[in-house]
Amino acid sequence: MAAQLRFETPSSAQEAAVLLASAHGRGKVLAGGTDLLVQMRSGRITPELIVDVKNITEMVSVARESGGWRVGASVPCMQLARHPAFAQAMPGVVDGANWIGSIQVRSRASVGGNLCNASPAADSVPAMMAVKAVASVEGPNGRREVAVQDMPVAPGKTSLEPGELVVSIFFPDQPARSASAYVRFTPRTEMDIAVVGAGVALTLDEKGVCTDAKVCLGAVAERAIVVPEAAKALIGTTVGDDALSALAAAASAAARPIDDKRGTKAFRTRVVGVIAKRACIKALARAKGAQSHE
Ligand SMILES: Cc1cc2nc3c(=O)[nH]c(=O)nc-3n(C[C@H](O)[C@H](O)[C@H](O)COP(=O)(O)OP(=O)(O)OC[C@H]3O[C@@H](n4cnc5c(N)ncnc54)[C@H](O)[C@@H]3O)c2cc1C
């Protein structure tokens, strides 16, 4: 006989971690449920314990903290996108969050769930990686910090240990004249997943020379990837046509996509260069227009 499904609603992250650890790998966090419920109903997963984390205040709040923004892992994407100060500070993350599903889906779906579901095509992940976001992870033995770029390891797999959950994500303030953007390619404008996606963050000096950059790609590898060669193509330049072409070439060279019904390897490899370039142009325009991020 199948074990009965337990449903718990803890009020602290530590309590949630202890509950998850007690389930010996058969426990699942429930945030918005837009991935979890689909997976359960299709029979892909059969958890014995569901831990609904939405009663944990720090997991559902957005707050200013010294040096950046702290976003609860289960804050719905819609709430994040409608937070004017966060949206101004982290426009690329909001671009990514705004691509997820429809208005109804985004009203429930969280960036923490998007990250922990570990789809290589997750839209908020390259954007969070580009701005050097850091996840705060609670486990049965306490808390640790993990760079968002180190969280996804393979399709459906994260670097979380048994019993661990992501409590919040810290977004460090970007220096003056910085901005970020996320662009994806998909045949439909909504309710489809990325064929390729690119998140770019960059910083300019007073003369418009790029002093720092990070370029991250989605849906072209087994996990979202950072492309240091693409960033190198921008740094030290005023991000003109030559730098943008070099960035596109580096993005295409780093891609190792699969063939599937959404696109062939050859198509994805070519298009990811174009999309990375577009994300960079969008970030550049924002950086030139940006006065302050507070
Ligand atoms: C119709 C539809 C369209 C969609 N379109 C897109 C799209 O365009 N782009 C896209 O990227 N995604 C899309 N998705 C997928 C989904 O909406 C997103 O991945 C969403 O961000 C998941 O967030 P959630 O809060 O609903 O996560 P849940 O479903 O609650 O959780 C997802 C997974 O992460 C785990 N988890 C959740 N939170 C934590 C945590 N804090 N710590 C540890 N583990 C955790 C859960 O146990 C589960 O395994 C779509 C889904 C649907 C149903």
Ligand 1 pocket test, candidate residues 41, 44, 100, most atoms within 8 A of CB: 100
Query: What CA–CA distance (Å, rounded) separates 20 from 163?
Result: 5
Report pLDDT for 139: 97
pLDDT tens track of the chain, all 294 residues? 566 899 999 999 999 999 999 998 999 999 999 999 999 999 999 999 999 999 999 999 999 999 999 999 999 999 999 999 999 999 999 999 999 999 999 999 999 999 999 999 999 999 999 999 999 999 999 999 999 999 999 999 999 999 999 999 999 999 999 999 999 999 877 778 899 999 999 999 999 999 999 999 999 999 999 999 999 999 999 999 999 999 999 999 999 999 988 889 999 999 999 999 999 999 999 999 954 443
Which atom number of ligand 1 is nearest to the Cα of residue 193?
A: 8
Residue 146 alpha carbon to ligand 1 centre in Å: 19
Residues with C-beta less than 6 Å from any ligand 1 atom: 28-36, 38, 53, 73-74, 99-101, 105, 108-110, 112-114, 116-117, 122-123, 165-166, 191, 193
Residue 256 alpha carbon to ligand 1 centre in Å: 24
Burial class (CB in 10 A: 0-12, 13-18, 19+), 112: buried
Report pLDDT for 2: 61
Residue 125 alpha carbon to ligand 1 centre in Å: 12
Burial class (CB in 10 A: 0-12, 13-18, 19+), 103: exposed
Report pLDDT for 262: 86
Report pLDDT for 261: 86
Which atom number of ligand 1 is nearest to the Cα of residue 37?
A: 29
Report pLDDT for 35: 98
Query: What CA–CA distance (Å, rounded) separates 216 from 276?
Result: 8
Report pLDDT for 1: 55
Ligand 1 pocket test, candidate residues 8, 19, 29, 136, most atoms within 8 A of CB: 29
Q: What angle do the packed helices 91-99 and 265-289 form, to 10 degrees?
A: 140
Report pLDDT for 291: 46
Residue 123 alpha carbon to ligand 1 centre in Å: 10
Which atom number of ligand 1 is nearest to the Cα of residue 116?
A: 34
Residue nearest to atom 53 of ligand 1 (CA): 34
Report pLDDT for 4: 86
Which atom number of ligand 1 is nearest to the Cα of residue 160?
A: 43
Residue nearest to atom 47 of ligand 1 (CA): 29
Which atom number of ligand 1 is nearest to the Cα of residue 31?
A: 30
Q: Can you point out the beta strands (E) in the chain?
A: 6-8, 27-30, 49-52, 62-65, 68-72, 134-139, 142-147, 152-154, 157-158, 165-172, 178-185, 196-204, 210-218, 225-226
How do residues 94-133 score in pLDDT, each as one tens digit? 999 999 999 999 999 999 999 999 999 999 999 999 999 9
Residue 266 alpha carbon to ligand 1 centre in Å: 28
Contact 109, 77 (CB under 8 A): yes
Residue 119 alpha carbon to ligand 1 centre in Å: 9
Report pLDDT for 190: 72
How do residues 186-226 score in pLDDT, each as one tens digit? 987 777 889 999 999 999 999 999 999 999 999 999 999 99
Which atom number of ligand 1 is nearest to the Cα of residue 190?
A: 8
Which atom number of ligand 1 is nearest to the Cα of residue 45?
A: 49
Residue 114 alpha carbon to ligand 1 centre in Å: 4
Report pLDDT for 123: 97
